[in-house]
Chain A
Amino acid sequence: MKMVAPVLTVLAAIILLWYGATVWLNSQWTYDQAARAGQEVSFSEVVVDTMNQKRPVLPAPHQVAEGLWQGVFGQKFTSKRSLVFHGWITLSATLAGFALGTGLGILLAVGITHSRAMDLSVMPWAIASQTIPILAIAPMVIVVLASLGITGLLPKAIIAAYLSFFPVLVGMVKGLRAPDHMQLDLLKTYNASQGATFWKLRLPSSMPYLFASLKVGVAASLVGTIVAELPAGATRGLGARLLSGSYYGQTVQIWSALFAAAALAAILVVVVGIIEQITLKRMGMVR
């Protein structure tokens, strides 16, 4: 409860700033319109007008809120104009990609911690893969897969996995290497096998690291999916919603989709956080 006041204060400040920016950015259009009609406008008229333009440069908060409300509750969930519909399309690809990326990241991390050769050969490539801008690679993947007849969820999931495997890989390598010398020596005195060392020591030690990187990974997955929905042709998903909004200058639509995506990201991170809490609590690692 102590956190509510500061959070609300910051939120209020942001909304205030936003309204200010709305007036400032949208007033030009109002003045232009008035000049064309040969009318004089007072400042208060300008303010009112900037709040309610059809295609504002920056929509006012209440316009975005209304756009969001309309998008979510204004129509059937199955409608092409429903944010729930598009959100679900994006979410399903995000989750598939996240699962794929997490699996790949964990597998590579296990390989890297158990084989010096893999450590030397895989890690540089993994790092290099993240230096290529996703915006450059996403359209290529989509086009190549489309030419093979693969469309829909899978190409997007692959892009999402491409972004999410890396944090998982890095976190997991760190986690699997977290056990100190003493803990490893202890198992050595039991003459424990590599397998036993992995299951009984390395894997449990890595859990806090894994969850920290899962939170980053799930957000990255969402970004990847949205980017993958941007290239021409996509008509479904929050990314497509962003793109079609910008084609037609529907700024309210763009911002509504943006906020829907942000809310989705927040929900995903919170869900991972809850699973983390439960798991670590069960393991006795949270007091």
Chain B
Amino acid sequence: MTAAPVIKARGLNLTFQTNDGPVHALKDIDLDIEKGDFVSFIGPSGCGKTTFLRCIAALETPTGGELSVNGMSAEEARKARSYGYVFQAAGLYPWRTIAGNVKLPLEIMGYTKDEQAKRVEKVLSLVDLEGFGKKFPWQLSGGMQQRASIARALAFDAEILLMDEPFGALDEIVRDKLNEELLKLWSATNKTIGFVTHSIPEAVYLSTKIVVMSPRPGRIHEVIESTLPRGPRPLDIRDSEEFLQIAHRVREGLRAGHAYDE
């Protein structure tokens, strides 16, 4: 690795002050994410995956440690509009059409009308939603709405894509399809992606790097580098020996991480 990491965390800590006392959501997180990496975060509920992603996006402020994004602080990177964030729910604005929703960041960032139209068309076809631009969100299925929200995050040129369980609510088949599309998209754009999931196969299928986290306090238990080829992968790679081995390691990691509790 020659270039500096895009995301670099050193001794990152975050404690929420709640009415029931402090909650140590992140403890001593050390992590490097290189440019073009596809990093999945996996771990039991409440282990701080969302919180870490929100720290990177400067939606949460760490209470200790260092975090740099593109060599800047997370806050500066946010102001430089370095990332697209895909939330767990699609969160489309009901009063905007699909095209209007995708256009939202472009309007805010001051793109010209021509440029807006061009980009909307491009990203909608990227997520397989050509022809749905004029529909309102409630006229689309949940999976289509989620794709629209991904299109919205892709519409502007963010180098980093942060996705918090974007496919959590979808059925297996739609999920497979979106996973495949996401991989294609990623290899076509060379973006850096941080991806939260609860699904071991999803993490292994998508990632170049899998971060296994453990709860109370939330910390990184293990970082597994994938040996699967980079770039678009066929869905049936999931039946390969190599895939199953990595999945096994992730499962072991999750189990061992959980054992801290007992």
A-to-B contact residues, CB < 8 Å: 182-183, 185-192, 196, 200-201, 204, 207, 283-285, 287
Contact = CB atoms under 8 A, between A and B. Distances in A.
B104 A191 contact: no
Nearest to A201: B93
Chain B interface main SS type:
loop
Contacts of B94: 284-285
Contact of A189 (B84, B93, B96, B138): B84
Contact of A186 (B80, B81, B85, B107): B85
Interface in B60-113: 78-81, 83-85, 87, 89, 91, 93-97, 104-105, 107-109
Contacts of B93: 183, 201, 204
A134 to B, nearest CB: 36
18 contacts: A182-B87, A182-B89, A182-B91, A183-B91, A189-B78, A189-B81, A189-B84, A190-B81, A190-B104, A190-B108, A191-B80, A192-B108, A196-B107, A200-B107, A200-B108, A204-B93, A283-B95, A287-B138
A174 to B, nearest CB: 17
Number of contact residues on B: which range applies? Answer: 20 to 34
A124 B84 CA distance: 41
A190 B91 contact: no
Contacts of B57: 189
Contact of B136 (A188, A191, A284): A284
A190 B87 CA distance: 14
A227 B221 CA distance: 72
Nearest to A185: B59
A187 to B, nearest CB: 7
Contact of B83 (A182, A189, A287): A189
Contacts of A189: 57, 59, 78, 81, 83-85
Interface of B: 54, 57-59, 78-81, 83-85, 87, 89, 91, 93-97, 104-105, 107-109, 136, 138, 156
Contacts of B107: 196, 200
B78 A188 contact: yes
A192 B107 CA distance: 10
Contact of A284 (B80, B83, B97): B97
Contact of A191 (B81, B87, B96, B138): B81
A186 B91 contact: yes
Residue among B85, B87, B93, B138 with most chain A CB within 10 A: B93
B59 A188 contact: yes
A222 to B, nearest CB: 30
Contacts of A191: 78-81, 108
Contacts of A201: 93
Nearest to B136: A284
A10 to B, nearest CB: 35
B95 A204 contact: yes
In the complex, the 9 A-B pairs of residues with the closest C-beta atoms, listed nearest first = A284-B136, A283-B95, A189-B85, A204-B95, A192-B108, A190-B105, A190-B108, A196-B108, A191-B79
A186 B109 CA distance: 13
A183 B90 CA distance: 10
A183 B59 CA distance: 12
A185 B88 CA distance: 13
Contacts of B96: 284
Contacts of A190: 81, 104-105, 108-109, 156
B95 to A, nearest CB: 4
Contacts of B104: 190, 200
B95 A284 contact: yes
Nearest to A183: B91
Nearest to B107: A200
A249 B54 CA distance: 73
A182 B78 CA distance: 16
Contacts of B78: 188-189, 191
Given A185-B87, A201-B93, A285-B94, 20 more contacts: A183-B91, A185-B54, A185-B85, A186-B87, A188-B58, A188-B59, A189-B78, A189-B83, A189-B84, A190-B105, A190-B108, A191-B78, A191-B81, A196-B108, A200-B104, A207-B95, A284-B96, A284-B138, A285-B95, A287-B138
